[in-house]
Amino acid sequence: MKKFILILFAFYFFVNTALSEPNYKYNVYRAGETSNLGAKDFSQGSKVLFIVDFSNSMNEKMGDRTKLDVALDTLSSILPQIPQNVQTGLRIYGHRGGFTYMDGCMASKLAVPLGANNSSNILNSLYKTSAVGWTPITYSLKQAINSDFAGVSGQKHIILLTDGGENCDESPCTYAIELMKTRNDISIDVIAFDIFDQEARNQLRCTALTTSGKFYSANSPDELRNSLFESLNIDKDVRGRIKINP
């Protein structure tokens, strides 16, 4: 009888654990791998919001250039390739410093609202922005979904480009899990740009895969370019014609 009770207890523990919040810390995924929920279709007519990191760490060097310079040069070559009927927009964070937690963790703004033929507007905004602040990823996602996408119908696609994990005492993974309980019209692709901290990578990976998005690890200019191409579903022939100057 005792053996039977122990078996029942073990079975209950296993099922209860399996149904609880995913233990993302111990899952290993390849860069660009989708979740097993199936990636949402991203094609012409989609709404794409870029969320770009302007935290102070983007001033660190990657080779002989800063990570920010690499990111801007890459985006400037790729954004014009987006089909004209795809609506795009830009949210940035870390663009201003803050002496208090509230200042730094609310430094996020919609720089360019969603619209067609928006590449030049996005690029102008990117090149006018300095990297000085913190990394409020979760706050930025909340603002994007609750404000930037307010009243927007159809599938919505976020491309988050960040060189660090959340540092504002929130969890983008936990937020994504809660979001998917009520929404199925949003997917988040995450490009982890030169990130080697495993906890940060796990949080970001969870954020992408929970929303049926993709997670990319980009540790060089070429990997960043390829991650953006794949996230945007830009034709391979176009990729071959674009060369990022070192």
Q: What's 40's domain CATH number?
A: 3.40.50.410
The answer to the question of residue 19 being in a domain is no
CB 149 within 8 A of CB 49: yes
| Better-predicted residue by pLDDT, 106 or 39 | 106
- Whole-number pLDDT of residue 216: 98
- Model pLDDT for residues 133-142, shown as the tens digit of each residue: 999 999 999 9
The answer to the question of residue 182 being in a domain is yes
- Whole-number pLDDT of residue 84: 81
CB 195 within 8 A of CB 163: yes
- Whole-number pLDDT of residue 45: 60
The answer to the question of residue 3 being in a domain is no
Mean pLDDT of 153-179: 96
The mean pLDDT value of the chain amounts to 82
Assign 11 a pLDDT band (cuts: 50, 70, 90).
very low
- Whole-number pLDDT of residue 43: 52
pLDDT at 148 over 70: yes
The answer to the question of residue 17 being in a domain is no
The answer to the question of residue 24 being in a domain is no
pLDDT at 132 over 60: yes
Distance CA 54, CA 68 (A): 8
Mean pLDDT of 147-168: 96
| Better-predicted residue by pLDDT, 211 or 243 | 211
Distances (CA, A) of 16 to 12, 177, 178: 6, 17, 18
Residues 6+ apart with CB under 8 A from 71: 52, 58, 161, 193, 224
| Better-predicted residue by pLDDT, 109 or 85 | 109
Question: How, if at all, do strands 156-162 and 61-62 pair?
Answer: unpaired
- Model pLDDT for residues 194-210, shown as the tens digit of each residue: 999 999 999 999 999 99
Mean pLDDT of 150-158: 94
Distance CA 74, CA 99 (A): 32
Domain residues for the domain of 207 are: 29-241
- Model pLDDT for residues 32-80, shown as the tens digit of each residue: 544 333 334 445 567 999 999 999 999 999 999 999 999 999 999 999 9
Number of domains the chain contains: 1
pTM of the prediction? 0.81
The answer to the question of residue 165 being in a domain is yes
Distance CA 153, CA 191 (A): 25
pLDDT at 169 over 60: yes
Shortest CA distance to 158 belongs to which of 42, 28, 30, 14?
42
Distance CA 230, CA 32 (A): 8
Strand ranges, E, within the chain: 47-53, 61-62, 65-66, 87-93, 108-115, 156-162, 186-193, 215-218
The answer to the question of residue 96 being in a domain is yes
CB 115 within 8 A of CB 86: no
Shortest CA distance to 214 belongs to which of 31, 37, 23, 51?
31
| Better-predicted residue by pLDDT, 28 or 145 | 145
The answer to the question of residue 68 being in a domain is yes
Rounded to 10 degrees, the C-alpha dihedral 232/235/236/237 comes to -140
pLDDT at 246 over 60: no
pLDDT at 237 over 60: no
Question: How, if at all, do strands 65-66 and 108-115 pair?
Answer: unpaired
CB 242 within 8 A of CB 78: yes
